[in-house]
């Protein structure tokens, strides 16, 4: 078993999020303090078919490293082939998704559906490890499907015996989705029984909350998802090197850099459609955010984006 990068197991990393944690956002988060990143979920079946969409998700920049590639699917053989495919692409580790709770993923027996079939999940870990050619393999899980069907407390040892070098634990059950506080006692039980590092995920509403979660359950690191959308400054605050939000004059340069990075790696006709969701999140918390968001969802050019940012700056100065 090869150890996962310490930047992932003991740092504050950006979690994979479909539609948000693309290459552009990962670069910005790394620059602002994320110790490592993980790609959006990539379908192992899509890789087998050489799907253009799946292959596009594998694009990355050297500025994102250390970088893990997250794979999802349901068949061990597909994982072995996919791990073999990505092992020579320059990624620093392979992450297996066994936590996504959305129905589209569950319908293919993937993501959190694997929590209902631990033998299959462990076979997937073995298969990915066999195909990884020495690249570290990590596993992202939830506590179980629901409180009546939790994962074994010893899931870390079970996964490690099959080749996993670290776990990331979202401290909720699938039936919790993203609602309610994380369940710290259950997280702590998995951490205590695990022979490999455990990274805590969920409930990262602020850097302080994320650090409390890590310390309360005894995890070695933090994996931050939704708390960082529109707030990449989260990572520097978690590291104690800056504020959790943009300082004066800091918002526009970061947002425009994000847009520029997206334009560099995405066909122009799709850029602004994809960027609108990012822009809406950057504007959360600003005075007049509702009116700003209504404009943000209609931007069609860099000039439109600059106009929205100038209005946001003017509103902030008026407070």
Sketch the domain layout of the chain as residue ranges.
Answer: 6-238, 251-318
Give yes or no for a contact between 139 and 151, defined as CB atoms under 8 angstroms apart.
no
Cross-strand bridge partners of residue 221? 199
Reported in sequence order, the residue ranges of the chain that DSSP labels E, i.e. its strands, are: 12-14, 37-38, 42-43, 67-72, 93-98, 137-142, 144-146, 149-150, 164-170, 198-201, 221-224
d(CA 20, CA 26): 9
Residues involved in catalysis: 100
- The CATH T-level fold of domain 6-238 is TIM Barrel (3.20.20)
- Answer yes or no: are the C-beta atoms of 184 and 153 closer than 8 Å: no
User: In this predicted model, what pLDDT tens digit does every residue of 32-44 receive, in sequence order?
Assistant: 999 999 999 999 9
pTM, rounded to two decimals: 0.94
Pairwise CA distance, residues 46 & 52, whole Å: 8
User: What pLDDT shows up at residue 316?
Assistant: 66
pLDDT of residue 317: 57
Residue 298 has a CB neighbour count (10 Å cut-off) of 10
Helices (H), 194-318: 207-217, 234-238, 251-265, 268-282, 289-296, 302-318
Query: What residues of the chain score a pLDDT lower than 50?
Result: 318-319
Sole residue written with tokens 């670069």: 27
Dist. CA 113–CA 308, nearest whole Å? 41
pLDDT (tens digit per residue) in 269-300 = 789 999 999 999 999 877 777 888 889 999 99
């Amino acid at each position: 078993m090869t150890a996962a990068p310490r930047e992932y197991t003991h740092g504050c990393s950006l979690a994979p999020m479909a539609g948000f944690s693309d290459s552009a956002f990962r670069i910005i988060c790394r620059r602002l303090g994320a110790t490592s990143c993980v790609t959006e979920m990539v379908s192992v079946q899509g890789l087998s078919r050489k799907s253009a969409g799946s292959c596009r998700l594998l694009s990355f920049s050297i500025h994102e490293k250390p970088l893990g590639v997250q794979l999802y699917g349901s068949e061990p053989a597909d994982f072995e082939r996919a791990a073999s495919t990505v092992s020579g692409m320059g990624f620093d580790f392979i992450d297996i998704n066994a936590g996504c709770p959305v129905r589209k993923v569950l319908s293919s027996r993937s993501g959190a559906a694997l929590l209902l079939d631990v033998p299959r999940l462990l076979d997937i870990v073995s298969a990915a490890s066999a195909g990884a050619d020495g690249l570290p393999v990590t596993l992202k899980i939830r506590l179980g499907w629901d409180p009546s069907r939790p994962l074994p407390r010893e899931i870390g040892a079970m996964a490690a015996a099959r080749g996993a070098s670290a776990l990331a634990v979202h401290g909720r059950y699938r039936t919790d989705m993203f609602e309610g506080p994380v369940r710290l006692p259950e997280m702590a039980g998995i951490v205590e029984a695990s022979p490999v590092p455990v990274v805590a995920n969920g409930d990262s509403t602020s850097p302080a909350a994320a650090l409390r979660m890590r310390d309360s359950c005894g995890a070695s690191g933090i994996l931050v998802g939704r708390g960082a959308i529109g707030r990449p400054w989260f990572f520097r605050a978690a590291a104690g090197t800056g504020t959790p939000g943009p300082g004066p004059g800091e918002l526009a340069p970061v947002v425009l850099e994000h847009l520029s990075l997206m334009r560099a790696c995405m066909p122009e006709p799709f850029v602004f459609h994809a960027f609108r969701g990012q822009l809406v999140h950057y504007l959360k918390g600003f005075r007049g955010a509702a009116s700003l968001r209504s404009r943000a969802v209609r931007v069609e050019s860099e000039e439109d984006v600059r106009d929205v940012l100038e209005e946001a700056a003017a509103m902030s100065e008026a407070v």
